[in-house]
Structure 1
């Protein structure tokens, strides 16, 4: 697998409008044995959008963060803007993919979609197994989306939103079943809101009280609920998110430790080293060496 050297920046690929719809915030991809132009996808990268793909058949694997996925037939894969993705190449590919941006989700009629489990992805999952009935349902909705996608006009946005709502709601039900995230109690929802806020602000906010202010509750109440619901102190969730991002950068880039520390909001490399070792038991340099030896 390729990595980036210290003179390269991890690219972030934007969603570009195609000639059919002209929509810069929503796009549909279809491959029927053909190959996408994938040279830029064979290096570690992020996307600035969400991607949900039904793989009908593929003959390769891809990495999402530090996890390799051998692509399975008739399986849904999904990722969001924060994830680092690397593909290992395809000989042939049969798939339908739907991509949409945060801006698409921020539209008033789409706002509820951002709260769906498959979008929040608090379990950091990326693969959904489908039964035959699931596959038939997903294929049917994708076919309807494709029809609307080919017909630009004043009703297109509403129709795409309606069908996407059905698809993502259905996949979210599968997500909660497969990742055991179906508890919707008030305290569980608060834990999810806290975790989602960490994903947004982990580079800038490091204290539980700062997140409590964002959520309009007291730090004591937040700490109590998070500890009961997750079994871990609230501060541990913040630290784990920082460690995850550090591990992503150590694995996928050759950036020096000083640059990684600065990117994560640490002003001092030695403090970053101590923080990483305290949380993981090894230094960042040792982690980078061991993970490269394992996967390269």
Structure 2
């Protein structure tokens, strides 16, 4: 493990630096960027479709088996690593945060897609057989378009990518809670966005409920109904996730991490971390 945890921006691994996007078949990408198999972060969005291969890939410390016709999505800031077995191939698209902003009037349009909410279990999707040909066609069309350098070519790439996003989003429609009002689901998404932004300084459900203009009981009921967990646990899990991300960087001391997460002192942070993970921060580092 390196002292400085690697964080990659789109320019360090893209041949299209001025356009904020990288499009490639996966096998040559992996061959060119073998160091990306080690734990690292991205400052950009990351989408991979596997068409062949095996092994594991880990997103935010949760490991998944690699399977053909599995697609996964990552948002900026997530921790990621690979451990492949044998040959692996597919497609990869990396794109920057502002890539779609000049293309769409609604700059937060990607927030509509659950797989871009930063929640690990939403980001890994197995594509059903009936969609294999359509998904492959779209990825091939994106690759082809990126090689032609025609007028409005990047706009065509964006339009094709949006087709993929919409097709994948439709797969999750059946999984949405039928009895939950759209209003409550919107509140939950807003709560999750707020926890991603304010987890360091807001630690109590009542703080988030106030920002959402609802009562703490209402917020807790929404989380229990849709997620099966309490609002307090959602906040704690986000704090623990960030603590794990920071602990990978060995040149940050536990005291510095506790300070970054607004704990009163490192001993309180250590007790908190061990209570919910079963490991002290130092022991967690030894597992990496």
Q: Aligned partners of 1:288 and 1:32: how far apart in 2?
A: 31
Tell me the SS of whatever aligns to 2:49. strand
- Residue 106 of structure 1: how far off its partner (Å): 3.6
Paired with 1:228 and 1:19, the residues of 2 have a C-alpha distance of: 46
Structure 1 window deviating more from structure 2 (142-151 vs 163-172): it is 142-151
Query: How far apart are the structure 2 equivalents of 1:38 and 1:19?
Result: 13
Structure 1 stretches of at least 4 aligned residues deviating more than 6 Å after TM superposition: none
Aligned to 1:23, which of 19, 23, 36?
19
1:142 maps onto 2:178 in alignment: no
**What aligned pairs does 1:97-108 form with structure 2 within 5 A after superposition?**
97-107=92-102, 108=104
Deviations 1:214-245 (A, max 9, x none): 44x24545455445544544233211210122
Question: Do 2:59 and 2:120's aligned partners in 1 also have CA atoms closer than 8 Å?
Answer: no
Look up the match of 1:54.
Answer: 49
For residue 88 of structure 1, the aligned residue among 83, 87, 92 is: 83
RMSD of aligned C-alpha atoms?
A: 3.1
CA drift of 1:120 comes to 1.5
State the match for 1:132 in structure 2. Answer: 129
1:245 matched residue in structure 2: 242
Contact 2:15 2:22 in 1 (8 A): no
- CA shift digits 1:56-108 (9 cap, x unpaired): 12354332222233322232122222321122367543221112222224443
The offset of 1:269, in angstroms, is: 0.4
Give the structure 1 partner of residue 112 of structure 2.
115
Task: Report the TM-score, using the length of structure 1 for normalisation.
Answer: 0.79
Query: Where does the alignment leave 5 or more consecutive residues of structure 1 unmatched?
Result: none
Aligned residues: 281
189-198 or 276-285, larger mean C-alpha shift: 276-285
User: 2:169 — aligned with what?
Assistant: 172
Does the residue aligned with 1:61 lie in a helix, a strand or coil?
Answer: strand
Q: Evaluate the alpha carbon distance shift between residue 228 and residue 91 of structure 1 in structure 2; reply closer, same or farther with a 3 A threshold.
A: closer
- Output aligned runs, 1:1-296, within 5 Å: 3-4=1-2, 8-16=3-11, 18-19=14-15, 22-24=18-20, 26-31=21-26, 35-88=30-83, 92-107=87-102, 108-109=104-105, 111-122=108-119, 124-152=121-149, 154-175=151-172, 177=174, 180-181=175-176, 183=178, 185-212=182-209, 214-215=211-212, 217-220=213-216, 221-223=218-220, 225-250=222-247, 252-254=248-250, 255-280=252-277, 283-288=280-285, 292=287
Flag structure 2 segments of 5+ consecutive residues without an equivalent: none
**Equivalents in 1 of 2:67, 2:229: separation in Å?**
34
Q: Within 2, Cα distance between the matches of 1:247 and 1:195?
A: 18
Encode CA deviations 1:164-220: one digit per residue, 9 max, x unaligned: 11101111223455xx345562112211221122123323333435434544x2454
